[in-house]
Amino acid sequence: MGPLVGQRSGTVPVETQLLLARCAGEGPSEPRVFFALLPLVAGAQRATLCGNMLSGRLSVHVDSGDPDVRAARMNDALVIAASADPYEAVRRAVCAASERVPGSFRVRSAKRPPAHLDYFGWCTWDAFYSAVRPEAVLTGVRSLRAGGAPPRFLILDDGWQSV
């Protein structure tokens, strides 16, 4: 699954885990509004979004993944947030999800940055893409060190996962 752009709610693929929708204002003086719809996971249940091509409607699908786990409802299946700024709409949805499902995760603003972010690190992806080899990595680290920028940490990334 990856990012997808569309114009109709009926074309939203099954298993969609975040939807950012833009709604134009009624007139030229009304600003556009972005809505972030974020399905939740709680207990044995998880929600996703899916469109229906025939009706053109958007649905929330709730599933446990286990035929023995059945429930008539899910208390917190979806959060919706709105803003004139798409990034703010997503941020608000994520914050609301963190509050609605206690203990699941904390938002970035509620955490301290990891200590290693204070140091220079090197990721091999931009240098080697999927052709990461031990000799080349050592040469790269030596080159950075010789140039006065020794990396304090290294991320070996061969790009095996497609987006």
Give me the residue spans of the domains in the chain: 9-110, 115-155
From the list 77, 92, 86, 87, the residue with the least C-alpha distance to 23 is 86
**pLDDT at residue 111 is higher than 90:** yes
Looking at residue 163, its pLDDT comes to: 55
Give the CA distances from residue 98 to residues 10, 31, 108, 159, in Å, rounded to whole numbers and listed in that order. 28, 28, 11, 30
The predicted model scores a pTM of 0.73
Residue 126, classed as helix, strand or coil, is helix
* Tens-digit pLDDT profile for residues 10-39: 999 999 999 999 997 777 777 889 999 999
pLDDT in tens, 43-79: 889 999 999 999 999 999 999 888 888 877 788 899 9
Band of residue 1 on the pLDDT scale cut at 50, 70, 90: low
